Amino acid sequence: CKSINPDEAVAYGAAVQGAILKAGGSGGGAALEGISSDLVLLDVTPLSLGIELEGKVMSVLIPRNTGIPCVKSREYTTCEDWQTEIDVVVYEGERPQTSANNKLGE
């Protein structure tokens, strides 16, 4: 997996957005010549979002590239009978084990 420099990603995105805005204005838009004018930008999750199950296993609730905002639900059961509380730990990532993903919170 290739690493992406966040500063370069922001600069590239700003340049693309600037070219789109210029193309829509009176400035012409030679930078986007030949690109469709009905271009749509969507906010999506860059990585899958899920929770940790017994055995440090990742259960994906929202797969990567899902449009946001979104609403998802899933039923889970407790590991033992008569449990009165649980800890829900949220992760982002694509690995099956939570230890290889990024912990977002509890």
Answer whether residue 44 is part of any domain.
no
- Same structural domain for residues 56 and 28? no
Domain that holds residue 88: 49-105
Whether 72 contacts 62, CB under 8 Å: yes
pLDDT category at 10 given cuts 50, 70, 90 is: confident
Q: What is the mean pLDDT of the chain?
A: 85
Number of domains in the chain: 2
Answer whether residue 12 is part of any domain.
yes
- Which is nearest to 53 in space by CA: 72, 71, 75? 75
Amino acid letter for position 54: E
- Same structural domain for residues 62 and 93? yes
Mean pLDDT value across residues 84-100: 96
- Same structural domain for residues 27 and 54? no
The pLDDT of residue 86:
92
Percent of the chain with pLDDT over 90: 58
- Same structural domain for residues 65 and 86? yes
The reported pTM is 0.65
Sheet holding 102-105, edge to edge: 57-62, 49-53, 90-92, 102-105
Mean pLDDT value across residues 13-24: 78
- Same structural domain for residues 78 and 56? yes
pLDDT(38) > 70: no
Q: Look-up: residue for tokens 């649980």? A: 86
